[in-house]
Amino acid sequence: MYKGQSGMWSWLLHRITGLGILLFLFIHIVDISLLGFGPQVYNDGILLFDSIIVRLLSLALIGAVVLHATNGVRIMLIDFWSKGVRYQQVMFIVVLAITIIVLIPTVYIVLLPKLPGVAAWFFMVKAAAITNGH
């Protein structure tokens, strides 16, 4: 038993992200099948993807894909590299760091159109502080 160590969390996150990606695949198939009902039905269905809730779900999907992919590389390194087991915890931290680093600009790109007042103000304040040397 892992007792809460990095191997357990890696295993759990890998399974959860895999199931999340699979769920998205089913949603995507339904989404694309709307084309069979005509362009108006498809366009109405696609409008759902512009809501803030779906944008947050999209961020979760992007995070799941990045985490799942990088953790998959980690698992392959553990399996095929003789020193992989020794560095598995460090590699798990690297996987989490890569996921967070990728998500930071992604959050900005995905959420900014839906939060023009608050997000634009926040990022303008940050940009002004950087420009003024604060």
pLDDT at 78: 92
Stronger pLDDT, 9 or 131, i.e. the higher one: 9
Which range (43-47, 110-114, 130-134) has the least confidence? 130-134
Q: Rounded to two decimals, what is the model's pTM?
A: 0.77
Q: List C-alpha distances in Å: 69 to 15, 97, 108.
A: 12, 13, 22
At the topology level, CATH places domain 6-131 in 3 helical TM bundles of succinate and fumarate reductases (1.20.1300)
Using one digit for the tens of pLDDT, what is the confidence trace for 68-125? Answer: 999 999 999 999 999 988 998 999 999 999 999 999 999 988 888 777 666 566 666 6
User: Has residue 2 got a pLDDT over 60?
Assistant: no
In the chain, domain spans = 6-131
Using one digit for the tens of pLDDT, what is the confidence trace for 22-40? Answer: 999 998 898 889 889 998 9
Cα first-last separation, the chain: 49
pLDDT at 82: 92
